[in-house]
Chain A
Amino acid sequence: MASIKITDQCTGCKLCLKSCPFGAIVVEDKKARILDTCTLCGACVSSCKFEAIDFTKEESQAADLSAYHGVWVFAEQKDGKVANVAFELLGEGTRLAAKLDTKVSAVLLGEGMESASKELITHGADTVYVVDDPKLRQYNDESYADIFVQVVKAYKPEIILIGATTYGRSLAPRVASVLNTGLTADCTGLEIDTQKRELLQTRPAFGGNLMATIICPNHRPQMASVRPKVMKALEPDETRQGEIIVPDVNIPTDTVTKVLEVVNSLTEKVNLAEADIIVAAGRGIGKPENLRYVEELADVLGAAVGASRAVVDAGWIEYSHQVGQTGKTVGPKIYIACGISGAVQHLAGMSSSDIIIAINKNPDAPIFKLANIGLVGDLVEILPALTKEFKQRIG
């Protein structure tokens, strides 16, 4: 079994205390001690300047890692339209592949995928593996996972990136579980250890209060789901050349999971994951009628409308608008928080926004600590003034 020990080199410097996400280290009599609450995550090892943490992992027998090559991107599509996150991942995949001196490929499942395949090439894919079949018209966890696994087994990529969307976060763990390999969820940063050909995957945990870097040293492929809007897509280039491969797969005919109906009930005002700008309403809007000021501003800006939990729980707006720990995690370029006080749970869902603008009556609201720009005042006055000003200047 794996074990962790503090050796005599320990000076009691307490550096490891900071690194432990579980608070499982104490320093007593100038020496660190590991408590029973330790989960053997290994996070403390690199924090020690004195090599006093003896952490032994029994290596599970390493598979032949050298058989795996290339960086893959799952090209999520809906109704033949490739999701933006797939282009972003191709951009990031191109950068990672260059460091590994390998190629970047896209895997595309669907029906009538010809133009989508070409679009993936113009966005950087060296190869597109296309499985084009009427049975794959609609995303289905079971059949998509089944085929994806077959393609991975046949072509053996070393890295697979999947957008951390509704579909991606459902598909990726199913595929990784069948392949018995590692998967890191919802990454916001990727790097390569070129010597070991390891993918260094950085992701937020504890509602964004802690960042962890994770590796998958002894298993291939190394899989990561990546948050939309974090990576940069390449400029599409029509002159890019790429190869289209139709893998020989067995398309399951006995899929038991049936998608009976797809209802696109939400407007762009709710697609929070893809929005460049989000205008979000909090309890401070006072009453449901005042939501219209938020919506009007969002309209002018072409923004999505978000909401705090308080507003959703009060029944003023649907759950699909909720941003925060029990709602959605978003990362737009601009987040305008209107009457949102800034509870930790809300911040967990939006703190990675590029620019945060807070409008609140209370000058001591915690949201102002995180906001880049703050406006103290009455929303009922400020929001219409803002809408009017934007209309005049950009409308």
Chain B
Amino acid sequence: MNIVVCVKQVPATTEVKMNKETNTIIREGIEAIINPFDTYAIEEGVRIKEQGGGKVTVISMGIPKVADLLRETIALGADEAVLLSDKAFAGADTLATAYTLSLGIKKMGPVDLIICGKQATDGDTAQVGPSLAAKLGIPHTTYVRKIEEIREGTIRCQRLTEDGYEVIEMPLPAVITVVKEINEPRIPSFKGLMKAKKAEIPVWTADEIAADESLIGLKGSPTWVVSTFVPQHNVNSEMIEGKPEEQAKILVDKLLSLQLPLSK
């Protein structure tokens, strides 16, 4: 089994703090981490390899510094990691990102399964996985919470839906995006950390993946950000005091007066 896991570098969101004076996100000193959802993707890839053999290769598109994070994925059990990095990739939206990743994956040779996290915690789009599958011309399933079986060139998995789950079977190669429920990522082993330290992370440029320059980076991105703003949460908090029964009565009075849909 050749497994590819796609990862993205995101800001460590636990430390997202707002500067109260300027109302902007404070970024100074904010650590970069592997997108939390991608850690489940890495773990799932490594588990499949441990059960059935094969190789796990991690791929990311990003600035040169992302190589450090890719080294961490080696510590978590990945065999190799490749970074797609080039000034020409800058400004990519999800379409250009999917195209770029698809070329990197094609360059690796035959692949059986591609695993992505459900979404990244900075952009929250959840678009790259399905878009990548379309670029590679292979099927995909999103929100996978469990892989039931991989056998004879097919994968059977459970996809989380709004009201339960579906069991879906696809021939390989295929793309899946995984949710947190799928596993619990391991802590890097000492051996893994030593291996990560020594790992070489190849960096592939636009030329090396033979990218069409009109389809990468900003130029290959149909969507453009025209403005950004920080939403204002101007909340007039109102505290309800008193004994529990009194608090309950006041709250119910208040909600009923607002004509809200309180009963079916």
Interface size counted on chain B using CB atoms at 8 A: 102
Q: B130 to A174, Cβ gap below 8 A?
A: yes
Residue A114 at the B interface, CB < 8 A? no
Complex-state Cα separation, A266 to B244, whole angstroms: 32
Complex-state Cα separation, A47 to B162, whole angstroms: 39
Residue B139 at the A interface, CB < 8 A? yes
Q: Which residue of B lies closest to A352 (CB)?
A: B231
Residue B109 at the A interface, CB < 8 A? no
Complex-state Cα separation, A168 to B255, whole angstroms: 33
Minimum CB–CB distance from A199 to chain B (whole Å) comes to: 10
Minimum CB–CB distance from A129 to chain B (whole Å) comes to: 21
Q: A270 to B163, Cβ gap below 8 A?
A: yes
Q: A258 to B222, Cβ gap below 8 A?
A: no
Listed stretches B46-54, B69-77, B93-101, B192-200; interface member: B93-101
Would you give the 0/1 interface string for B1-35, flagging 1 where the beta carbon is closer than 8 Å to chain A? 00000000001011010100011110110000000
Residue A302 at the B interface, CB < 8 A? yes
Contact of A266 among B133, B140, B164, B254 (CB under 8 A): B164
Residue B36 at the A interface, CB < 8 A? yes
Q: Which residue of B lies closest to A326 (CB)?
A: B180
Count contacts between A and B, CB distance < 8 Å.
321
Q: B248 to A207, Cβ gap below 8 A?
A: no
Listed stretches A88-96, A180-188, A240-248; interface member: A180-188
Q: B251 to A263, Cβ gap below 8 A?
A: no
Q: A259 to B95, Cβ gap below 8 A?
A: no
Residue A375 at the B interface, CB < 8 A? yes
Q: B125 to A186, Cβ gap below 8 A?
A: yes
Known A57-B218, A209-B16, A260-B169: A357·B251 in contact at CB below 8 Å = yes
Q: Which residue of B lies closest to A165 (CB)?
A: B162
Listed stretches A100-108, A216-224, A280-288; interface member: A216-224
Known A19-B227, A211-B231, A377-B247: A372·B130 in contact at CB below 8 Å = no
Known A166-B160, A263-B166: A393·B256 in contact at CB below 8 Å = yes
Residue A316 at the B interface, CB < 8 A? no
Complex-state Cα separation, A391 to B18, whole angstroms: 41
Q: Which residue of A lies closest to B258 (CB)?
A: A355
Q: B228 to A173, Cβ gap below 8 A?
A: no
Contact of A212 among B163, B225, B244 (CB under 8 A): B225
Minimum CB–CB distance from B158 to chain A (whole Å) comes to: 8
Q: B239 to A374, Cβ gap below 8 A?
A: yes
Q: A301 to B169, Cβ gap below 8 A?
A: no
Q: B164 to A262, Cβ gap below 8 A?
A: yes
Q: A372 to B237, Cβ gap below 8 A?
A: yes
Q: A205 to B123, Cβ gap below 8 A?
A: yes
Q: A219 to B222, Cβ gap below 8 A?
A: yes
Chain A residues, Cβ within 8 Å of B127: 169, 172-173, 176, 183, 185
Q: Which residue of B lies closest to A141 (CB)?
A: B140
Known A206-B16, A260-B168, A385-B248: A351·B233 in contact at CB below 8 Å = yes
Chain A residues, Cβ within 8 Å of B122: 205-206
Q: A46 to B227, Cβ gap below 8 A?
A: yes
Residue A314 at the B interface, CB < 8 A? no
Minimum CB–CB distance from B159 to chain A (whole Å) comes to: 8
Chain B, interface SS category: mixed
Minimum CB–CB distance from B168 to chain A (whole Å) comes to: 6
Minimum CB–CB distance from A30 to chain B (whole Å) comes to: 18
Q: A257 to B164, Cβ gap below 8 A?
A: no
Residue A2 at the B interface, CB < 8 A? yes
Q: B235 to A369, Cβ gap below 8 A?
A: yes
Complex-state Cα separation, A186 to B238, whole angstroms: 31
Minimum CB–CB distance from B256 to chain A (whole Å) comes to: 6
Q: A326 to B37, Cβ gap below 8 A?
A: yes
Contact of A378 among B140, B180, B228, B244 (CB under 8 A): B244
Known A21-B228, A270-B163: A389·B36 in contact at CB below 8 Å = no
Residue A134 at the B interface, CB < 8 A? no
Minimum CB–CB distance from A20 to chain B (whole Å) comes to: 8
Residue A11 at the B interface, CB < 8 A? no
Chain A residues, Cβ within 8 Å of B167: 259-261, 263
Residue B90 at the A interface, CB < 8 A? yes
Chain B residues, Cβ within 8 Å of A185: 94, 123-127
Q: A204 to B36, Cβ gap below 8 A?
A: no
Instruction: Give chain A interface residues in 156-193, CB to chain B under 8 Å.
Output: 165-167, 169-178, 180-186
Known A43-B225, A260-B169, A373-B251: A177·B256 in contact at CB below 8 Å = no
Q: A209 to B140, Cβ gap below 8 A?
A: no
Interface contacts beyond A178-B134, A181-B95, A214-B224: sample of 11 additional A-B pairs, CB < 8 Å, sorted by A = A23-B25, A171-B130, A176-B95, A183-B223, A209-B230, A210-B229, A265-B165, A277-B262, A302-B263, A325-B36, A374-B240
What are 13 A-B residue pairs whose CB atoms fall within 8 Å in the complex?
A18-B22, A40-B218, A176-B131, A185-B123, A204-B124, A206-B122, A207-B121, A256-B170, A259-B168, A265-B163, A266-B162, A345-B14, A375-B240
- Please name the 7 residue pairs, one residue from A and one from B, whose CB atoms are nearest each other, closest first: A182-B222, A40-B91, A23-B27, A177-B134, A185-B125, A182-B223, A385-B248
Interface, chain B (partner A; CB < 8 A): 11, 13-14, 16, 18, 22-25, 27-28, 36-37, 63, 87-88, 90-95, 98, 121-135, 139-143, 145, 156, 159-171, 179-181, 213-214, 217-231, 233, 235-241, 244-245, 247-249, 251-252, 254-256, 258, 260-264
